[in-house]
Every structure is written in structure tokens, then in C-alpha cells.
Amino acid sequence: MTYRGRFAPSPTGPLHAGSLVSALASFLDARARGGSWIVRIEDVDAPRTVPGAADDILATLAHFGMHSDETPVWQSERGAAYQAAFERLQAAGFIYPCGCTRREIADSLVHAHARHATLAYPGTCRNGLHGKPARAWRLRVPDGDAARISFVDRWQGPQTQDLATDVGDFALKRADGLWAYQLAVVVDDADADITHVVRGADLLDSTARQVYLQQCLGVPTPLYLHVPVVNNGIGEKLSKQTGAAPLDRHAPLDALVEAARHLGIEASADTLDAFYRAATAEWAKRFGR
Ligand code: GLU
């Protein structure tokens, strides 16, 4: 198999110590396998995209010695691919329009919760819109045993999620007309022939949805590896919202050594080349070549 991995930052702000860990892990995994590493700019969520952030991320990665092996993919240019996948799912009867507002879903969930049900979308519009206008489009998840999706994560071990009880039918096209992350990521990974996904463990919970969507579209499921997220001093995931500081582009080694340490790798070095050699060798010992 030709290894193809990716790093898929959302351009909502500059790279920080948390996103560096995901970038580094995906890069080391690709290097350890002699594979390709491709950067994808996940700017599908236009309202959250910060102008200039994507170029800033690419420049920082370059300063840190990580260069995409192919021209970076921009989700904002891939609307036609998402539309084509959406139409295939529609023709096959996998998706349906949903007229529920957030408020209506929240209210029905409060009610469901009182009956000790879980907080999944209750499927209100599965059999019709009840006269309401269509807002979002949802993928119908299976019922019963077929709803249990299992996969083995290379870091986190065996995982199972029951899509019916934990998630419910999930949106592929949002009420604001934008493509949902779940659709974009599955279509992009498939079109780029991604074989290995390495990313932060905050996305572990999305993986079963992506595996199911791959099955609906008839595309292969990559192998997954979710690295522990970096928290700030009070246990919150580092992010722009929790005040993560941007990386200092001019002092890459310290930040890289720290990111490697978070991954359980000791790779102190004087140059970027020596760092990547040492870190790749350590990664290969743990996760194979
Ligand atoms: N764009 C997502 C993020 O920055 C990552 C998506 C993925 O790796 O699948 O959190």
C-alpha cells in the first residue's frame, strides 16, 4: 500500500502548541512509512475562517521544516465534489431534509432526556417535514445492531460507537447552506486516497460517523490514530478560544521538542534535520515503519 497521510488544519487562527502536536504526529507517521504527507486547509466553514490564517499556518509549517508533498488542498475550492457526493447519497436514499430548528431539537432532547433516552437527534423529520421548510440535510443512521460502528485506533485501541443512540441522524448540509465538516472530510480523504489519518483525540468521537459515511459512499476506510490533545493549565483543550499563544516561528526547535515529548518521544537535537531523524526513528519503533 502506498502510504498517504494528511494534516488538515482549520484556518481559524495561527498554529499553536496543540495543533503542532497533530501536525508533527501526522508528519512523523508519514515519514516513518516513507509515505506522502499532504496539507489540507479546512476552510469549509467560511464564517469561522480568519483571513490570512491559512497562509500563516503554511508559512509556520515551512519554518518548522514541514512541507506538504503535494499542493495543499483548499476545501473552499471543493464545493463541486461535495455536491456530487451529496447527490449520490440523495439518489441512494441515504439522506433527508430536516426542518427542525435548534430550539425544537433542544426541546425534544430535554423531553427525551426526561425519559432517560440519550442526546441523539431524535429523527423528527425522518418521515417528512411536517409542513416545515427544509433547513438541513441529514444522513439516516441505521437502527439496531447495524448502528454499532467499530474500528481499531492505532493509539487509543478498539473503539465502538452506537450511531443511533449516541449521535442520531447527522447533518451533511447545514441549515446555513454550508457543507458539514463530516461530509467534507470524508470526501476529501477519499479523493486524496488518504490511507492513514493521524489527528487529535478531540476527533475520535467523529470517527464512527466518518466510517459510516465512507460505507454509504462506497469508499475505503483509512486507518486512524488519534493523539492525546494538549490541555492548558486548567484542563481545557488548547485552542484559540482558550487563549493558546501562537507558535514563535523563529524558534521552531524548542516547540518541536516539546510537541514530541507530548507524544512520548525524546528527540533533543541541535538542528531541524537531526530532530526529524531522531523523532522519526522513535515514532517508527512505536508505530511501525
Ligand atoms: N480541521 C480539523 C481541525 O482543525 C481537523 C480535521 C481532521 O483532521 O479530520 O480540528
Residue 225, phi-psi category: left (phi > 0), alpha (psi -120 to 50), beta (remainder): beta
User: 94 lies in a domain?
Assistant: yes
Q: How far is the CA of 38 from the centre of ligand 1 (A)?
A: 13
How does residue 199 score in pLDDT terms, banded at 50, 70 and 90? very high
Q: Which amino acid is at 239?
A: S
Say how many C-beta atoms besides its own lie within 10 A of residue 228's C-beta. Answer: 15
Q: Report which protein residue has its CA nearest ligand 1's atom 5.
A: 8
- Check whether 137 has a pLDDT greater than 80: yes
Ligand 1 pocket test target in 183, 199, 223 with most atoms within 8 Å of CB: 199
Ligand 1 proximity of 186 Cβ (cutoff 6 Å) = no
pLDDT at 164: 95
User: Hey, which residues does 149 pair with through a beta bridge?
Assistant: 161
Ligand 1 proximity of 8 Cβ (cutoff 6 Å) = yes
8 annotated ligand binder: yes
Q: Which of 147-151, 182-186, 235-239 has the lowest mean pLDDT?
A: 235-239
Angle between helices 252-262 and 272-287 (to 10 degrees): 10
pLDDT at 239: 84
Which numbered atom of ligand 1 lies nearest the CA of 42? 1
User: 185 lies in a domain?
Assistant: no
Task: Please say which residue of 140, 173, 206 terminates a domain.
Answer: 173
Ligand 1 proximity of 31 Cβ (cutoff 6 Å) = no
How does residue 101 score in pLDDT terms, banded at 50, 70 and 90? confident
181 annotated ligand binder: yes
Show the cell assigned to 4.
Answer: 498517504
Average pLDDT over residues 200-215: 97
Average pLDDT over residues 40-67: 97
Ligand 1 proximity of 10 Cβ (cutoff 6 Å) = yes
The label of the residue with cell 474500528 reads 151
CATH number at residue 60: 3.40.50.620
How does residue 116 score in pLDDT terms, banded at 50, 70 and 90? very low
Ligand 1 proximity of 203 Cβ (cutoff 6 Å) = yes
Ligand 1 pocket test target in 42, 188, 194, 239 with most atoms within 8 Å of CB: 42
Which numbered atom of ligand 1 lies nearest the CA of 22? 8
CA distance 166 to 142: 12
CA distance 189 to 104: 33
Are residues 204 and 251 located together in one domain of the fold?
Answer: yes
Average pLDDT over residues 50-57: 97
Are residues 68 and 96 located together in one domain of the fold?
Answer: no
pLDDT in tens, 238-284: 887 777 889 998 899 999 999 999 999 999 999 999 999 999 999 99
pLDDT at 289: 61
Domain total in the chain? 2
Q: What is the largest CA-CA distance in the chain?
A: 67
CA distance 156 to 153: 5
- Check whether 108 has a pLDDT greater than 80: no
Are residues 28 and 67 located together in one domain of the fold?
Answer: yes
CATH number at residue 131: 3.90.800.10
Average pLDDT over residues 114-123: 66
Residue 184, phi-psi category: left (phi > 0), alpha (psi -120 to 50), beta (remainder): alpha
pLDDT at 117: 47
User: Hey, which residues does 173 pair with through a beta bridge?
Assistant: 137, 179
User: 264 lies in a domain?
Assistant: yes
User: 178 lies in a domain?
Assistant: no
Which of 169, 176, 198, 174 has the alpha carbon at shortest distance from 184? 174
Average pLDDT over residues 114-125: 70
199 annotated ligand binder: yes
- Check whether 286 has a pLDDT greater than 60: yes
Are residues 200 and 279 located together in one domain of the fold?
Answer: yes
Domain hosting 145: range is 80-173
pLDDT in tens, 161-188: 999 999 999 999 999 999 999 999 999 9
User: 67 lies in a domain?
Assistant: yes
173 annotated ligand binder: no
CA distance 237 to 17: 11
- Check whether 113 has a pLDDT greater than 70: no
User: 131 lies in a domain?
Assistant: yes
User: 21 lies in a domain?
Assistant: yes
Which pTM was predicted?
0.94
Are residues 72 and 86 located together in one domain of the fold?
Answer: no
CA distance 170 to 264: 35
Cα pseudo-dihedral 57, 259, 266, 281, rounded to 10: -40
User: 179 lies in a domain?
Assistant: no
Ligand 1 pocket test target in 4, 7, 10 with most atoms within 8 Å of CB: 10
Task: Please say which residue of 110, 143, 173 terminates a domain.
Answer: 173
- The overall average pLDDT reported for the chain is 93
- Check whether 107 has a pLDDT greater than 80: no
All residues at 6 or more sequence positions from 56 whose CB lies less than 8 Å from its CB, including other chains: 14, 15
